Each structure stands twice: as C-alpha cells, then as structure tokens.
Amino acid sequence: MFSKRTSIEQVEEGFELAPKFDSSGLIPVVTTDIDTGELLMHGYMNVEALKKTLATGQMHYFSRSRQVLWHKGATSGFFQNVKELLIDDDQDALWAKVQVLGGASCHVGYRSCFYRKIEYSDGKAGLLFTDTDKVFDPEAVYGEEPNPTKL
C-alpha cells in the first residue's frame, strides 16, 4: 500500500504515498474539524492504524499509553469520519480533517483535547480553561474502562 522511499524528489514532489514512521513505528497526526478548522486532537498512527483509516474512512490511532490500535469512537460512539487526510512535505506528519459524530473528541468530555491555555507571568506557568462546558460525562460514557492517561 505504501511506496518505498527512494529519493527526495519522490517524497517531496511525487505522487506516491511513502510515509516515514519514526523509530517506534509511529507517525504524528493532528485532527481538526472539517467545518470549523478547530484543532481537536493530536495523536499517532502506526502502519496498521493508517491502513485501517484509509480502508474504513474513520480515524484509527495507535495509543502510546495503552500500546494498542484504537478506533476513535468504538467505545464512546464519537466517531471521526475522515473528510480529508493530508501529509506534509517530507511525509512524516499527517493532518486529518474530520466530521465528528456526537460533537466531542476528548475522552475528558470536552469537544477538543485542547481545552486549556498556558499562562506565564512572574516566572510561573499555569493553566487557564478556555472551555468549561463538557459535551458528555466521561463516567457515563466509559464506565469501567481504564483512563488512557498514564502518569
């Protein structure tokens, strides 16, 4: 499905999909809402996740914390339907433009995973919530599922 990387010209100016996965076998992907452009999340794909995304038209990721393939929405019902999938110039990063079913992308309950901004003042950094309204209650949706955030 993916071409072997043979030249800079092929990678940067060619028509062949030749993604470059890192030493862990992953490629980063940022995901935005197709209609608003809002940044929803950042994640990673391995070869299998990228293949499944292309084959199904729904986002699949590789969870680094759980070390498993992850079909976004399989547990929550908040699927991400791919409308466009772009790759950067040297084919080592992806940008997914999606339609979010159910209106949320963050397992914490917010629409976007980027619901806080960093504030810096007097040598101290802190966080300020930019979104305070959750789209859903994570406990009601995920129940006994383990939290994917690892310390």
- Name, in order, each residue with C-beta under 8 angstroms of 41's C-beta and a sequence gap of 6 or more: 30, 31, 105, 106, 112, 113, 114
pTM for the model stands at 0.89
> How high is the mean pLDDT of the chain?
94
CATH number at residue 40: 3.10.20.810
14 part of a folded domain: yes
- Inform me whether the pLDDT recorded for 40 exceeds 80: yes
Q: Is residue 108 part of a domain?
A: no
d(CA 147, CA 81): 24
- CA–CA separation, 126 and 60 (whole Å): 32
Is residue 25 a part of any domain in this protein?
A: yes
> What letter represents residue 41's amino acid?
M
Whether 64 maps to a domain, the answer reads yes
- Its domain, for residue 43, covers 8-103
For the chain, the domain total comes to: 1
CA distances from 73 to 61, 83, 100, 143 (A): 11, 16, 9, 14
Over the stretch 107-144, which tens digit does the pLDDT of each residue have? 999 999 999 989 999 999 999 999 999 999 999 999 88
Q: Is residue 1 part of a domain?
A: no
**What does DSSP assign to residue 118?**
E
> Is residue 15, in this structure, part of any structural domain at all?
yes
DSSP 25-87: S-EEEEEEETTT--EEEEEEE-HHHHHHHHHHSB-EEEETTTTEEEETTTTTS--EEEEEEEE
Residue where the block lists tokens 């393939």? 69
Q: Would you state the pLDDT for residue 124? A: 93
- Is residue 112 domain-resident? no
Beta bridge partners of 121: 124
Q: Is residue 118 part of a domain?
A: no
pLDDT score, position 144 = 86
DSSP at 3 = P
